[in-house]
């Protein structure tokens, strides 16, 4: 019983410490994204010359690999962007 009490006190004491750390904030963003079907984002694809060849703004849930970006829009449509050495993709979170 005494060990459970001490463990409870330690856990309650850690909550304020964890709320200020970056990994806790990222965890909160992940939960928010999952619960609300994505976050408001601006996705831009640039060619080698730095010109925007595609732009999409909206509320998206995204996944990525080293050569692709997958996003799901509010209508539950899945979109895939495949890019090579001459393209750049940026995903900015909007407020």
Q: What is the pLDDT of residue 77?
A: 86
Together in a domain, 86 and 43: yes
Please say whether the beta carbons of 93 and 40 come within 8 A. yes
Q: How many domains does the chain have?
A: 2
Give the DSSP H/E element, type plus range, for residue 92.
strand 88-93
Region 21-25: what's the mean pLDDT?
Answer: 72
Structural domain that includes position 18? 1-35
Together in a domain, 17 and 55: no
Q: What is the pLDDT of residues 26-43, one digit of tens each?
A: 677 667 766 767 788 999
Together in a domain, 43 and 89: yes
Please say whether the beta carbons of 50 and 90 come within 8 A. no
pLDDT of 57 > 80? The answer is yes
């Amino acid at each position: 019983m005494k060990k459970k009490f001490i463990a409870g006190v330690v856990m309650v004491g850690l909550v304020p410490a964890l709320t200020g750390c970056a990994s806790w904030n990222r965890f909160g963003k992940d939960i928010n994204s999952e619960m609300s079907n994505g976050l408001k984002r601006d996705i831009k694809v640039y060619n080698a010359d730095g010109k925007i060849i595609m732009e999409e703004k909206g509320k998206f849930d995204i996944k990525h690999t080293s050569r692709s970006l997958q996003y799901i829009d509010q209508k539950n449509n899945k979109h895939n962007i495949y890019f090579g050495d001459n393209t750049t993709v940026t995903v900015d979170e909007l407020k």
